Amino acid sequence: MRSIDRAIVSGAIAVVTLGCANYSRVADEMAPPLTLSLSDYYEDPMKYDGKQVTVAGYLVSQGDVLHLDETPDGPRGMSDPTMLVRDTTPSKEIGFEEIFESHRCTDRYAKITGVLGQIPSPNIFGMVEISEIRVFEDDAFRGSGEVCYSAN
């Protein structure tokens, strides 16, 4: 095979490979979020890195930090599941601050939908791109809940 033919074939393979990778990424973004319990998340958070998920729990605000716990009492020890919630998307930071100011979402049972990933500071794993927070009356999470934050 001539070198020009090899270059054309190599270029075609690269285009097909990139197209497949982009299709896969778009398909992942269009797929419904995975529903996880806090225990599932806590067992192996890296398993869900970059995945869109919905996690239910009790949303607590401590200063400028949000975290999701299983109960209003919070974690009783290092083995109790908890998840840090911090939207690191620059375009959403201002809107996300509303959560702290209004308290419509905090100190309530909530389902949070977003992407899990590495939080730069304090360099731990948690929910990094928040698309929606729905609050509920109790831990039964009946009905669709009330949207108290939406990135849209």
What is the pLDDT averaged over residues 37-41? 90
**Residue 28 has what pLDDT?**
56
pLDDT tops 50 at residue 5: yes
Q: How confident is the model at residue 35 (pLDDT cuts 50, 70, 90)?
A: very high
Separation of alpha carbons 92 and 2, rounded Å: 52
First to last CA, the chain: 53
Q: How confident is the model at residue 125 (pLDDT cuts 50, 70, 90)?
A: confident
pTM of the model: 0.73
Separation of alpha carbons 42 and 44, rounded Å: 6
Separation of alpha carbons 91 and 141, rounded Å: 30
Does domain 33-150 bear CATH number 2.40.50.140? Answer: yes
Amino acid at 126: G
pLDDT tops 80 at residue 42: yes
User: Please, are residues 128 and 87 in contact by the beta-carbon 8 Å criterion?
Assistant: yes
What is the pLDDT averaged over residues 82-109? 73
Handedness of CA 26, 67, 96, 89 (dihedral sign): negative
